[in-house]
Amino acid sequence: MRDRIRILIPEMEVNRRIDEVAAQISRDYQGKELHLLCILKGSVFFMSELARRLTIPVTMDFMSCSSYGSGTVSKGIVRLVKDLDDPIEGRDVMIIEDIIDSGNTMAYLLKLLGARNPASMKLCTLLDKPSRRVHHEVTVDYVGFQIEDLFVVGCGMDYNQRYRNLPYVGVIEPEDIRK
């Protein structure tokens, strides 16, 4: 059976908003080099699009954390799967996420990475679900879109590793989600 996906944010809107966020970051970091830290796997699509639009020098690194497994609800326990390749001490760091909801992963990462003494550390996400936030100390500095509490796919976000490559943000109809 094929899942039914309803388009929530069309591709053209996603691209327009990434342009706007990139322009703001480029202004805010003018004259500086920014170290982009991509949280795998989902954020790689957003980070690639964002980085291409930035007009400032950037470097990149990747981390992987797990808190979902194959389900649709965060387990609340964060496990570091892949750490950074390079040190971040003294660097201006921007963590790039595809979506932030409960804040479990970000709370863990902000504490872990903050102890590594970056010059600055900001958070950028394509999608933010503030209504699901459990860790209210997690502040998102650059937000593509705020959304309701929906299970979304596309633009890097997946359901059981499927649909990451959709160029839009979609919602799988509830009766199609098999937990």
Q: At what angle do helices 11-28 and 43-53 cross, to 10 degrees?
A: 60
**Active-site option among 28, 83, 98, 101:** 101
How many whole angstroms from its chain centre is CA 17? 14
How many residues comprise the chain?
Answer: 179
* 38/132 Cα distance (integer angstroms): 22
101 is catalytic: yes
Of the candidates 173, 170, 131, the residue with the CA atom closest to the CA atom of residue 148: 131
Q: Which residues are catalytic?
A: 101
